[in-house]
Amino acid sequence: MSTLVEDNPAKRRFEILVDDALAGFTAYLPRGEVLVFTHTEVDRGFQGKGVGGTLVRGTLDQLRARGTTVVPQCPFMSAFIDKHPEYADLVADLP
């Protein structure tokens, strides 16, 4: 199973492709240098396979490389960051 996480700025979301099929996304609203994440969704056929975690991890890794911070209003992303404190430094207050 090959995965690719990429930003789709036109749709304001990061998407995960699994074997070239869109498997899920995490939506954001840009607020200056901060991205406010509002919703994460994984297609039913990919749920329970770690796709959501791979999506959020890939998103946060890319944002760290860019120097961007996040406001995780999405419960899934917030729970992921709580379970993986190595990403806590990316969390910002809402601008």
Tens digit of each residue's pLDDT, the chain (95 residues): 799 999 999 999 999 999 999 999 999 999 988 999 999 999 999 999 999 999 999 999 999 999 999 999 999 999 999 999 999 999 998 76
The reported pLDDT for the residue numbered 93 is 85
* Count of residues in the chain: 95
Pairing of strands 34-42, 69-72: parallel
> According to the model, what pLDDT value does residue 90 have?
97
Q: In this structure, are residues 46 and 18 in contact, taking their beta carbons and an 8 Å threshold?
A: yes
Tokens, residue 61? 């890794």
Q: What pLDDT score does 84 carry?
A: 98
Contact 21, 45 (CB under 8 A): no
